Chain A
Amino acid sequence: DIVMTQSPDSLAVSLGERATINCKSSQSVLYSSNNKNFLAWYQQKPGQSPKLLIYWASIRESGVPDRFSGSGSGTDFTLTISRLQAEDVAVYYCQQFYSTPWTFGQGTKVEIK
C-alpha cells in the first residue's frame, strides 16, 4: 500500500496569513502515461463529511476559493491556503488514487492563532 504522510499534524495560523500543509507519498503517484499526479486534497469541517478541494494535485474543484492551491509532483505535495479565513478551520487530508488500495494521509488540523 502507498503510505501518505502529512505534516504537520496541526498548525495555528493568524487570520489573513498563509497556511502550508505537506503530504508525502511512500512512492511516486505520477502516472507516466499522462504526466498527471494522482493526488487529491479534501477539507473536513467539524461534524461534516470531507469535501473535495483539489485533484490531479493542482486542479481546483469548481466553487473552491482561489486562496486554496495545490502543488508538487512525484512524492511531495503541498496544499496552501494563501490568506486564512475563519471558515477554513478544518482538517485537511491528501489522498492518492494512483494505486489500489486508495489511501489517505492522517490529516492536518488547521486552527486560528
Chain B
Amino acid sequence: QVHLQESGPGLVKPSATLSLTCAVSGVSISSSNWWTWIRQSPEKGLEWIGDIHHSGATNYNPSLKSRVTMSVDKAKNTFSLRLTSVTAADTAAYYCAREGGNGIPVSGVGNWFDPWGPGTLVTVSS
C-alpha cells in the first residue's frame, strides 16, 4: 500500500525559505506516476502548488512559479518542495500526494490525487 509522509519545520520566518520533504513508501518514486504538492488554508482553500516526475520534469502553478522549486531524490524515495520569500499568506497545511491516471502534466493532461499524506502545518511568523 502506498503511503506518503510530509516532514519539515512547522514554523518559518517571513522572507525565509520553506522546505518540506515527502517520504514515499510502498512504491518506487521512479514509477510512472507524477508527484504533487498541495496546500490548504482557510483563506484560499485547496491550492495546487506543482508536480514533479522522477525524470525531473516539473509543472508549477503560475501563481507560485517564481518562488517554487521541486526536486526528487530517487535514492531516498523522496521528493521535496522549496518555497522562497514566504509571507504570512503562505501559512497553510501542506500536503504531498501521488497522482493517479496516465496524464502528463507538462503536456497539459492532468491526473487526480491519490493517496495524500496526512499533511503538515506550516506557520509563517517571526
**What is A's interface to B at a CB cutoff of 8 Å?**
31, 38, 40, 42, 48-52, 55, 61, 93, 95-104, 106-107
Contacts and interface: CB of A to CB of B under 8 A. Distances in A.
Interface residues of B, number: 25
Given A49-B95, A49-B117, A101-B63, A93 B112 contact: no
Contacts of A61: 114
A100 B59 contact: yes
Nearest to A104: B46
Contacts, number: 60
Top 5 closest pairs, chain A to chain B, by CB: A97-B110, A52-B114, A104-B46, A40-B112, A49-B116
Contacts of A49: 95, 116-119
Nearest to B96: A49
Interface string B48-74: 100000000001011100000000000
Interface of B: 45-48, 59, 61-63, 95, 100-101, 103, 105, 108-119
B59 A40 contact: no
Nearest to B4: A49
14 contacts: A38-B110, A40-B113, A42-B113, A49-B117, A49-B118, A52-B113, A97-B112, A100-B59, A100-B61, A101-B62, A102-B110, A104-B45, A104-B47, A107-B45
Given A38-B110, A49-B117, A55-B101, 16 more contacts: A31-B109, A40-B112, A50-B116, A52-B100, A52-B113, A52-B114, A55-B100, A55-B112, A95-B112, A97-B103, A98-B110, A100-B110, A101-B63, A102-B110, A104-B45, A107-B46
A61 B110 CA distance: 17
A98 B109 CA distance: 6
Contacts of B45: 104, 106-107
A102 B48 contact: yes
Contacts of B48: 101-104
B116 A100 contact: no
B81 to A, nearest CB: 15
A17 B63 CA distance: 41
A100 B114 contact: no
